[in-house]
Structure 1
């Protein structure tokens, strides 16, 4: 079963975030695992009520310009988990700063340019309250 949760190892979190200079002080790494196997991660933070996906790794590498069907599935799974995380932490929009995953986001309604696409969270996850 696939599971996404914030990374628990503070040193591993810090090491990943060193490679994401635009990450804010509240940045988090959401880790995608299946059983004990790490499948990928997404670096996120929240700025002005927008959950920003800043970097992603799938299978040990940044997403390729052309995603395989499996990588597209995993990237979509991570995006939806990030959206849920954002909704639970006060965000109302989600943005992706990861141009490689833009082709899977635009059909969902994400819009934007220059490698940054956004959408209201309500279009991705059920938001209550």
Structure 2
């Protein structure tokens, strides 16, 4: 029994495929015109430069946050010092007298006060 052959290779013309070597420029241009690549680049550009929370704004906010944290530490230390002074003023009469003499220039009845200026403070104020 003969076999049925649907395709006979001798009767069909042979296809000649000429492979041209692809140039690097054509590969790059194919990559650059890929729609997924273009969409990714567009999205990255929008997120980095045009968005409300872009890269530059985020960096500036981090710098501002670091500065605010430093000032918070400074004011917390100052607050602790002020609490210490407050407790001293409430409990120690010598501290009250020292503050009254230095800041408010108060004196006892039988004392004379002589005020002098320091030359270093004059120079600092002049600068």
Judging by fraction of residues, say which structure has more strand: 1
TM-score clears 0.5: no
- TM-score, normalised by the number of residues in structure 1: 0.19
Judging by fraction of residues, say which structure has more helix: 2
- TM-score, normalised by the number of residues in structure 2: 0.20
Q: Which has the higher contact order (CA 8 A, sep 6+)?
A: 1
